């Protein structure tokens, strides 16, 4: 009877969660899908060769970002930082600027950046531009970032394993017919305490990993934790999760508390498990409310399935008699894990081909394949429970194999959380046109409906920058007459046009360049999404 009620509650929770998510999505203003911030372009552009040294280096991102201490550096060919003062971010958070003092310097300069995106992850990278001539560039050591990323992933994995295991204890304790919930939790207290401690330690390690990436060095992570927590909603969620884990550890460590307030202990386990669904990728999803609801259902169902399998593997001799009752719950929980996982991931994917063309999609396919194997093993175990003569594997060995695969699934999930979804962010489009000895490189950023920045660079066929006297740019598309753009010279061999409003389609750019009194016309075409 108790199992039947739990199965009904699971099914009702799925329906309620999806309906609630749809309602929340309907009343929440939609915005473009995103996740980790993406660098759309820079000025000077990556790998460009400019004739005159810039006074400011600008980076443009697809969503608002926050600067981090020492996050934007410009290194000369000799490795010396030529930055002048601290980097500044524009009021809309989309552009980060760093004043530089290059002077008469020549050669290749390396730009390294670290910014904090809205989902609480630190995004970084580097690129090179050259002034006057190309040369060897300064080497960038990213070992600290690699260590910080490892700590974040490992911490997330450990915390997730602990939280899932704790909910598995709550489930089996509720299924145990030998006594009330409090007695069931007390009988499995060592496993529950191990899960609570793992959730606490993993949360600390993960937060230190993010703080290490924020500070640029793992050794500086402790002093940066406060900044990370205050800088984003995801940081605040991580802090609350740590506080919940501390409370859970204290409560489980005292047997009398478990006995007196067992339902409260179970509630705290659930809260600690679902909190991550309200940070990370969900914060910047196109439908954040729906993403959080689906994430919560996904984690809860995972605890009732994979978490309980872990407890069974640890306490096989004591809890094997509950396998039949658990299998009835798993029949609902396992499909719920897969369905909510797919639905939640689909929010971040715009087209099927992104499943195999992006790192996020490939990791999702790996996770789905492992989940399919887990479901197959569960089906074989359920069949064996009904008829022992049809056994394929020893039941205890099969449960332990399921638990081991579950650890791998959680590890893939931890990597998935810190992997940028492909999203729908448009990327700059660059095209090249030639006329005689003149080469025009035109970049439209972000090549999406709305305001765009058009950058033009002029060079010879051999790649050397060419100084021009003037440039005239006219743009048109089907049904739209050509209009003249206000071109601003950046230096003698490049110019730009800001806030060019474009609509989806193919746009034609007619560029007239005047050199030594003679006009040269180059026509180019750019697709806009």
Within a domain: 520: yes
Residues 294 and 263 in one domain: yes
CB-count burial class (<10 Å; 0-12, 13-18, 19+) for 405: middle
Is the pLDDT at 388 greater than 60, yes or no? no
The upper half-sphere exposure of residue 167, i.e. CA atoms within 13 Å in the direction of its Cβ, equals 25
pLDDT tens sequence across 232-264: 777 888 889 999 999 999 999 998 888 889 999
Which tokens hold the place of 18?
Answer: 């999806």
The average pLDDT across 272-296 equals: 75
Within a domain: 298: yes
From 115-119, 315-319, 402-406, 424-428, the region with the lowest mean pLDDT: 424-428
Within a domain: 369: yes
**Of 363, 391, 417, which residue is a domain's last?**
417
Rounded CA separation 169/161 (Å): 12
pLDDT score recorded for residue 327: 85
Highest mean pLDDT among 35-44, 261-270, 431-440: 261-270
pTM of the model: 0.69
Residues 136 and 152 in one domain: no
pLDDT tens sequence across 52-78: 888 888 888 877 888 877 778 888 888
pLDDT tens sequence across 155-166: 999 999 999 999
Which tokens hold the place of 370?
Answer: 């492992």
Residues 337 and 293 in one domain: yes
Give, as one character, the DSSP assignment of residue 478.
T
Residues 334 and 240 in one domain: yes
pLDDT score recorded for residue 479: 75
pLDDT score recorded for residue 190: 94
pLDDT score recorded for residue 380: 78
Within a domain: 29: no
pLDDT tens sequence across 126-146: 888 888 888 887 777 655 567
- Degrees to nearest 5, angle at CA 493 with 74 and 487: 100
Cis peptide upstream of residue 44 (ω within 30 degrees of 0): yes
CB-count burial class (<10 Å; 0-12, 13-18, 19+) for 296: buried
Within a domain: 225: yes
Rounded CA separation 66/224 (Å): 14
pLDDT score recorded for residue 103: 82
Residues 349 and 453 in one domain: no
| Total count of domains within the chain | 3
Return the biggest CA–CA distance within the chain: 96
pLDDT score recorded for residue 33: 40
163 vs 95 pLDDT, higher one: 163
Rounded CA separation 443/198 (Å): 49
pLDDT score recorded for residue 128: 85
Rounded CA separation 279/35 (Å): 11
Rounded CA separation 516/316 (Å): 86
Residues 201 and 72 in one domain: no
Residues 350 and 462 in one domain: no
Strand-pair partners of 18: none
Q: The CATH number of the domain where 86 resides is what?
A: 2.60.40.1220
Residues 196 and 299 in one domain: yes
Q: What percentage of the chain carries pLDDT values higher than 70?
A: 86
Within a domain: 260: yes
φ/ψ (deg, to 5) at 367: -60, -40
pLDDT score recorded for residue 509: 92
The average pLDDT across 300-327 equals: 89
Cis peptide upstream of residue 472 (ω within 30 degrees of 0): no
For residue 355, the Cα-to-chain-centroid distance in whole angstroms is: 15
Residues 435 and 350 in one domain: no
List the domain range (segments joined by +) for residue 467: 429-528
Within a domain: 463: yes
Burial 62-83 (b: 16+ CB within 10 A, else e): bbbbbbbebbbbbbbbeeeebb
- For the chain, the average pLDDT equals 81
Strand-pair partners of 518: 515
Residues 201 and 287 in one domain: yes
Is the pLDDT at 25 greater than 50, yes or no? no
pLDDT score recorded for residue 27: 37
Q: How many CB atoms lie within 10 A of CB 276?
A: 24
Residues 354 and 216 in one domain: yes
Q: The CATH number of the domain where 514 resides is what?
A: 2.60.40.1930
Check if the beta carbon of residue 38 is closer than 8 Å to that of residue 419: no
Cis peptide upstream of residue 382 (ω within 30 degrees of 0): no
**Of 382, 417, 452, which residue is a domain's last?**
417
Euclidean distance between the first and final Cα of the chain, in Å?
Answer: 56
Within a domain: 28: no
Residues 299 and 209 in one domain: yes
**Of 108, 140, 172, which residue is a domain's last?**
140
């Amino acid at each position: 009877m108790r199992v039947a009620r739990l199965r009904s509650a699971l099914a009702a929770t799925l329906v309620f969660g999806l309906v609630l998510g749809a309602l929340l999505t309907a009343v929440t203003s939609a915005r473009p899908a995103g996740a980790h911030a993406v660098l759309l372009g820079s000025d000077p552009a990556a790998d460009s060769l400019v004739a005159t040294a810039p006074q400011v280096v600008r980076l443009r991102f697809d969503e608002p970002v926050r600067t981090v201490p020492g996050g934007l550096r410009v290194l000369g060919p000799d490795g010396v930082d030529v930055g002048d003062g601290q980097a500044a971010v524009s009021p809309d958070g989309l552009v980060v600027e760093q004043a530089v003092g290059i002077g008469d310097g020549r050669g290749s300069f390396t730009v390294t950046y670290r910014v904090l995106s809205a989902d609480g992850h630190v995004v970084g990278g580097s690129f090179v531009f050259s002034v006057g001539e190309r040369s060897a560039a300064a080497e960038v050591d990213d070992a600290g970032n690699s260590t910080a990323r490892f700590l974040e992933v490992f911490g997330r994995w450990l915390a997730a394993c602990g939280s899932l295991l704790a909910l598995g204890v709550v489930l089996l304790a509720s299924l145990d017919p030998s006594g009330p919930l409090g007695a069931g939790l007390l009988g499995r207290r060592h496993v529950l305490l191990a899960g609570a401690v793992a959730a606490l330690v993993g949360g600390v390690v993960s937060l230190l990993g993010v703080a290490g990436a924020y500070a640029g060095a793992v050794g500086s992570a402790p002093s940066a934790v406060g900044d990370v927590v205050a800088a984003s909603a995801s940081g605040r969620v991580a802090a609350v999760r740590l506080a919940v884990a501390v409370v859970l550890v204290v409560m489980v460590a005292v047997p009398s508390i478990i006995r007196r307030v067992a339902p409260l202990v179970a509630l705290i386990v659930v809260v600690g498990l679902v909190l991550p669904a309200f940070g990370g990728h969900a914060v910047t999803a196109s439908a954040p409310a729906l993403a959080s609801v689906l994430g919560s259902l996904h984690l809860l169902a995972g605890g009732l399935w994979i978490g309980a399998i872990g407890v069974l593997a640890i306490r096989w001799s004591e809890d094997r008699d509950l396998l039949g009752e658990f299998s009835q719950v798993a029949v609902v929980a396992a499909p719920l894990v897969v369905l909510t996982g797919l639905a939640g991931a689909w929010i971040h994917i715009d087209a099927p081909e992104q499943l195999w063309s992006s790192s996020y999609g490939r990791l999702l396919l790996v996770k789905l394949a492992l989940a399919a194997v887990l479901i197959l093993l569960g089906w074989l175990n359920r069949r064996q429970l009904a008829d022992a003569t049809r056994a394929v594997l020893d039941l205890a060995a099969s449960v332990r194999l399921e638990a081991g695969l579950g650890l791998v699934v959680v590890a893939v999930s931890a990597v998935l959380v810190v992997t940028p979804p492909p999203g729908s962010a448009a990327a700059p489009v660059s095209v090249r046109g030639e006329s005689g000895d003149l080469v025009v490189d035109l970049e439209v950023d972000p090549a999406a409906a709305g305001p765009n920045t058009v950058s033009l660079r002029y060079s010879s066929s051999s790649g050397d920058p060419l100084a021009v006297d003037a440039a005239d740019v006219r743009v048109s598309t089907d049904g739209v007459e050509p209009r003249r753009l206000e071109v601003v010279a950046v230096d003698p061999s490049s110019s730009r046009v800001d806030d060019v409003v474009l609509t989806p389609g193919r746009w034609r750019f007619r560029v007239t360049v005047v050199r030594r009194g003679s006009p040269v016309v180059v026509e180019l075409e750019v697709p806009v999404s």
